[in-house]
Structure 1
Amino acid sequence: MRRYVVIWNRNARQGAAADEAKVELKALAGDSFHETESFEDACSRLEDVSDEDLVIVAGGDGGISGIIHQLHSGFARPTLAVVPLGTGNDFVRSLGYPPDPMAAIAAIRANQTADVDVVQLEHDGQSQWFINAAVGGNQRKVEARVSDEVKQFWGPFAYARGSLEALPEIEKYHLHLTLDDEAPLDLDLWTLTIANGRTVGGGAEIAPRAKINDGLLEVTGLQGEGLIDLGSIAASFLQGAYLDHEYVFHRQAAKLHLRSEQEFEFSVDGELIVGREFSFATLPQAQSMIVGPDFAQEPRKT
């Protein structure tokens, strides 16, 4: 018999919608409703779950990705559901329902599932699993200009606004990039995004063609020679057509290897990773998840 296990981040968003969702989830899970104070506390609740359980993660993108990492580090593989309580709530936007707690409850009750891709990152001799996106390059300089208030006012355009404000301070990186088994590429990029999901930064569609169950990563980099070119890219982003811009590098790949001439930073679902060499690979349809009515199914990989 399926057991409902709820991991509720006590430090996440509050409000009427969250309160209503909490009441619903407590009724659904009973004694398996856990309010957690820390990531370690949340992980401890996974120790006795089984493949037949439904684990409901109520929190932000970082917490969801952390649970994914723990499960794929050797725990059981239960079906997951996401109740968005963070400020960005980006991954849930790829699951076919709005970033709203009660929309998530409706999806859980409908019990439609899909097997979605997980991304494995190899860095500094260690493996890390994540679910949405790794945004690299000048990410911290952009994020420093995207406060919660800016996200609330600008919505999905907050990331583009932050990028424009950061233009005078950002730097270019010389990268060696190998996609699948192709010949290596030498690229000079301002930013590089490795995306499984579509959005970052609270709804900014940085990978609008991404599908989380096609076995492919969306690889996007910003090129160009200076602020004028980057401003042009930002304008095309606001118009919803930036992947076709002449200074945007865009490819799809199942795996990639990256080497940087200088230290390179990735924000991996909110966690900062710094280094010079990284390998990414998809684990196709490796995680069963609750999805909403607008989720687009892909054929099962064989």
Structure 2
Amino acid sequence: MRTCVILNPVAGALKNADPIRERLERLKFERFCVTEQPGDAEKFASEACNFDLLISAGGDGTLNEVVNGIAHGGCNAALGVLPLGTGNDFARTLGVPNGLEAAIEQIIAGQIREIDLVRVTSDQVRYFVNVSSGGFSGVVDEKLTPEMKRTWGPLAYLRSAAAAFSELRGYATRVALDDAEAHELDLYNVVIANGRYVAGGIPIAPEADITDGLLDIVLIPERGPADLAILAAQILIGKHLSSDAIVFQRARKISITSRPGMWFNVDGELIGNEPA
């Protein structure tokens, strides 16, 4: 099996590529690519479309780039995941072990399954496998810097949320599911989930199934501070889907426009604030 490994050498607590490369030799890779700047992982993946297995060694951002390289390149390679980042949220949904050696063993075992891939069409076309969100969470991602991730680790997501809270605002939003008639809502946040976790393990879509062909959609309408505090506590333990403070739906397709435009991310990476 022709294998290409794509490593982000500064993902999570990593400092350089050499020690990790030595540990990855067991994968018997033919090509080993090390990213130096944003966009490299996507480029490396698109250039390796004739390989049988592409392995993303990094965090959710690295994985998203590899997924987009595969999707835009029309690649039929299998995708392997080595969770080396700060959040590693999609790896949690997949059941990938936290330890590197155990994760390598899982890839060597060679069990392959099909999963859903989600396409976002806005001012550009992007793909994701985990979660896309807009509104307040987009502002949070705008505040989240690489330095914050390195300093705070998984707590960086809470740190950036605290920094963004003063900018919490509502969005007049039109939401249409599966080409049905659009509904207008005043929302703080929109979450479109394929995977189950965000922000280092928060179960935002605890019942999501990455093989069912459906998106788990969580809409958070404008609420008072007390209601939001209760909702935040419910979300942290994955008990919010039945709450009156949210709107929860499943659909194959969702269309969103808002005033002002929501900043959206895919798998934690900002993509813009155009209708999607």
Q: Determine if the TM-score, normalized by the shorter chain, exceeds 0.5.
A: yes
2:9 corresponding residue in structure 1: 10
2:47 corresponding residue in structure 1: 47
Check conservation: 1:233, 1:247, Cα contact below 8 A.
Answer: yes
1:28 & 1:172 partners in 2: Cα distance? 48
How many pairs are equivalent? 270
Stretches of structure 2 that go unaligned for 5 or more consecutive residues are: none
1:288 corresponding residue in structure 2: none
1:204 corresponding residue in structure 2: 202
| Amino acid paired to 1:236 | Q
How far off is 1:160 after superposition? 6.3
Structure of greater relative contact order (alpha carbons < 8 Å, 6+ residues apart)? 1
The 1:93/1:45 distance shift into structure 2, 3 A limit, reads closer
1:29 corresponding residue in structure 2: 28
1:144-180 deviation digits (Å, cap 9, x = unpaired): 479435544x5xxx75686577544300111100001
- What SS class does the counterpart of residue 228 from structure 2 fall into? helix
Correspondences of 1:9-158 after superposition (within 5 Å) = 9-14=8-13, 22-42=21-41, 43-44=43-44, 46-50=46-50, 53-124=52-123, 126-143=124-141, 144=143, 147-148=148-149, 149-152=151-154
Stretches of structure 1 that go unaligned for 5 or more consecutive residues are: 279-302
Check conservation: 1:222, 1:248, Cα contact below 8 A.
Answer: yes
How far off is 1:123 after superposition? 0.3
- What SS class does the counterpart of residue 105 from structure 2 fall into? helix
How far off is 1:261 after superposition? 2.1
How far off is 1:258 after superposition? 0.7
The 1:166/1:235 distance shift into structure 2, 3 A limit, reads farther
2:217 corresponding residue in structure 1: 219
Check conservation: 1:97, 1:104, Cα contact below 8 A.
Answer: yes
- For normalisation by structure 1, the TM-score amounts to 0.80
How far off is 1:86 after superposition? 1.0
1:108 & 1:87 partners in 2: Cα distance? 21
1:244-273 deviation digits (Å, cap 9, x = unpaired): 111111111100111112121112122212
Check conservation: 2:70, 2:76, Cα contact below 8 A.
Answer: yes
1:273 corresponding residue in structure 2: 271
1:282 corresponding residue in structure 2: none
1:10 & 1:145 partners in 2: Cα distance? 19
- What SS class does the counterpart of residue 121 from structure 1 fall into? strand
2:237 & 2:5 partners in 1: Cα distance? 39
Across the aligned residues of Structure 1 and Structure 2, the Cα RMSD in angstroms comes to 2.6
1:168-218 deviation digits (Å, cap 9, x = unpaired): 430011110000132211111111111111111111111111111111111
| Amino acid paired to 2:127 | W
The 1:12/1:270 distance shift into structure 2, 3 A limit, reads same
- What SS class does the counterpart of residue 242 from structure 1 fall into? coil
| Amino acid paired to 1:78 | A
1:239 & 1:87 partners in 2: Cα distance? 20
- What SS class does the counterpart of residue 7 from structure 2 fall into? strand
Check conservation: 1:47, 1:75, Cα contact below 8 A.
Answer: no
- What SS class does the counterpart of residue 55 from structure 1 fall into? strand
Percent identity of the aligned residues? 37
1:257 corresponding residue in structure 2: 255
Match of residue 175, structure 1, among 173, 177, 186:
173
- What SS class does the counterpart of residue 75 from structure 2 fall into? coil
| Amino acid paired to 1:251 | Q
Check conservation: 2:27, 2:108, Cα contact below 8 A.
Answer: no
- What SS class does the counterpart of residue 252 from structure 1 fall into? strand
Check conservation: 1:26, 1:33, Cα contact below 8 A.
Answer: no
- For normalisation by structure 2, the TM-score amounts to 0.87
- What SS class does the counterpart of residue 113 from structure 2 fall into? strand
2:68 & 2:130 partners in 1: Cα distance? 12
